[in-house]
Amino acid sequence: MKTWQYLTDPVLREIFVPPVLAGLAIALFGGVLSTLVVMKRLAFIGQGISHAAFGGIGVAYVLGLGAVTGAGALSLQFAIVFAFCLLAALQVGFLTHSESGRGSTGKSQSDTAIGIVLVASMAIGSLLLHIAERNGKVATVSWESLLFGSLINIDMTYAVVAWGVAAVIFAVLFVLRRPLVFWAFDEPTAAAFGVRVGLMRLVLLVLLALATVTAMKLAGVVLATAMLVLPAAAAVQFSASAARVLGLSLVFAVASVLIGVVLSFEFDWPTGASIVLTLAAIFGVGWGRARVSGG
């Protein structure tokens, strides 16, 4: 087995361990955040934020940061992409709030705002990447790596960053756990009891942007948001209890990373796609089980 070789060979272990550590960090904060995303039905917002990363990547490439390896330059690249995703998230929130204030139907206007930001960000990113290639800022753009992640480029530095991001996300969620959960379950009632619902929504958008930028290195731009949706979506197929959904979401997220990484090594599959397909399979099992039990 190739996986066993990666575990036992000291040289190969250096390639195997960082992606697993980074993936586990992503699974932990993805599993927790996906519970809030599913409860608030914000899956499409996560999709919009992940696609907005294309614009940030385009900016980084134009500035000559597309193929950098230094810690300082990588941090700057991360900051640029995060800033672009955050601006996209805030723009979605602003458009949605503005339209709802005019009496428009909230859900349809939210989807429209996300769609506008999504396609605009993708177009900006594509244009800037083309300009970067033409101006010699980068020899060629690896679209497969951007879309589906690149396991070979995950090093221990990135694994440390992923765990640092996980620590920040968990700290924020712990401090704001009561108002966030209250807002997620019943926003009108939470507002009546004095919860600052606008702040709660802003906090979640910021955390989603941070999580998306971190996850896309391993899972890719398109698939990163799946880790913020599928764990909890699969968990609710097995239980209606909030506590059990959270626990199952974490278990499914961690299991999908471990299984997905093994599949990628054994069959030379893209790591991000392997992780997401594993989660989709878990969701499929839960969906079938719920339908059989209900029938």
Residue 103 is predicted with a pLDDT of 47
For the chain, give the mean pLDDT.
81
Q: Which residues of 87-124 are buried (b: 16+ CB within 10 A; e: fewer)?
A: bbbebbbebbeebeeeeeeeeebbeebbeebbeebbeb
For the chain, residues with pLDDT lower than 50 are 100-101, 103-106, 108
Query: What HEC string does the chain produce?
Result: CHHHHHHHCHHHHHHHHHHHHHHHHHHHHHHHHHHHHHHCCCHHHHHHHHHHHHHHHHHHHHCCCCCCCCHHHHHHHHHHHHHHHHHHHHHHHHHHHHHHHCCCCHHHHHHHHHHHHHHHHHHHHHHHHHHHHHCCCCCCCCHHHHHHCCHHHCCHHHHHHHHHHHHHHHHHHHHCHHHHHHHHHCHHHHHHCCCCHHHHHHHHHHHHHHHHHHHHHHHCHHHHHHHHCHHHHHHCCCCCCHHHHHHHHHHHHHHHHHHHHHHHHHHCCCHHHHHHHHHHHHHHHHHHHHHHHHC
List the CATH code of the domain at 2-285: 1.10.3470.10
Cα–Cα dist 39/214, whole Å: 22
Cα–Cα dist 85/81, whole Å: 6
pLDDT in tens, 202-222: 898 889 888 988 887 666 776
8: number of Cβ within 10 Å: 9
Residue 98 is predicted with a pLDDT of 54
Cα distances from 54 to residues 47, 73, 85, 118, 137, in angstroms, run 12, 18, 9, 9, 17
248: number of Cβ within 10 Å: 23
Residue 101 is predicted with a pLDDT of 47
For residue 105, the Cα-to-chain-centroid distance in whole angstroms is 27
Residue 206 CB-density burial (10 A; 0-12 exposed, 13-18 middle, 19+ buried): middle
Note the pTM of the prediction, 2 decimals: 0.85
Residue 180 is predicted with a pLDDT of 92
